[in-house]
Chains A and B, each alone.
Chain A
Amino acid sequence: MKVTGRFFALYRERIGKSVMEIDIEDSSNVEDLVNLVVNTYPSLSSDASKIVVAVNRVYAEHDCVLSDGDEVAFIPPVSGGCL
């Protein structure tokens, strides 16, 4: 199946892309996808298990099962608002 990966801020700078189509096995979950991406782009993060993800714009755990066509955003720690 195909999912769309979206990358922002620090992650976008580290891998040089803001969006990519990713081929992955049917019934993969978020953890499978994150591991695939980190293996392909090791500069993304030193710890795949800590990466926060949103599936179709809703925060999701790493055991969340993905479907064909899902949009999976890789979310660096947020810093909007103000300090």
Chain B
Amino acid sequence: MIRVTEEYVAVQEVINSLSREVHGAVVTFLGTVRLWTGDRKVLYLDYEAYPQMAEEQLRLIVNEGKLRPEVEDIAIYHRIGRLTIGDVSLIVAVASKHRREGFEACLAVVERIKEIVPIWKKEVWGQGEVWVRSEGV
């Protein structure tokens, strides 16, 4: 699965999308919307994407990740639109032969998503709003 969508997708559905080859480990990561950023109490987040390019970049990341030894499959779901506290914004699931490679690949995928996928997050709190990490440009 590689999906960028406003729809809710459950983590089990992401896991179920992984290939059915024999694997020993499935590592999942959930990125969640947290209440506090520093001393700002977050009301909600607005996620925006360049949809076609975001999915293509996720596909690149999946292909990169599957080159890692022992990694068998990777699924990524990124939610966009308005998210509130406790919502899941990102799910990454990695199927691998052994656990160490799975954990390492999962972390690498999450880091890579933050680097190259055209998805932006606006954080809104009581006194204002900011496009996270964009304001300095």
Q: Which A residues contact B (CB, under 8 angstroms)?
A: 6, 8-10, 12-13, 45, 47, 50-51, 54, 57, 59, 73, 75-83
Contact between A10 and B135, CB atoms less than 8 A apart = yes
Mark interface residues in B35-59 (1 if CB within 8 Å of A CB, else 0): 0010000000001111011101000
A6 touching B50 by the CB < 8 A rule?
yes
Known: A6-B50, A8-B50. A80 touches B137 (CB 8 A): no
Across-interface contacts of B90 in A (CB, < 8 A): 80-82
**B137 near A57: Cβ-Cβ < 8 Å:** no
**B135 and A78 contacting across the interface, CB-CB below 8 Å:** no
Q: Which residues of B contact A51 (CB under 8 A)?
A: 137
From B37, B119, B122, A78 is in contact (CB under 8 Å) with B119
- Give the number of chain B interface residues (Cβ < 8 Å): 33
Q: Which residue of A lies closest to B46 (CB)?
A: A9
Asked if A10 and B120 sit within 8 Å, CB to CB, the answer is: yes
Add 15 more A-B contacts to A78-B120, A80-B119 (CB < 8 A).
A10-B134, A57-B50, A75-B118, A76-B137, A79-B114, A79-B120, A79-B131, A80-B47, A80-B113, A80-B114, A81-B31, A81-B117, A82-B31, A82-B110, A82-B114
Give the one of A50, A57, A75 with max B CB within 10 A.
A57
| B133 with A77: CB separation less than 8 A | yes
A-B CB contacts (within 8 Å), total count: 89
Min CB distance B31 to A, Å, is 3
Complexed CA–CA distance, A78 and B114 (Å) = 7
Q: Which residue of A lies closest to B113 (CB)?
A: A81
Decide if B96 is an interface residue (CB 8 Å cutoff): no
Residues of the A chain whose Cβ atoms lie less than 8 Å from the Cβ of B118: 8, 54, 73, 75, 78, 80
The answer to whether the Cβ of B66 comes within 8 Å of any Cβ in the partner chain is no
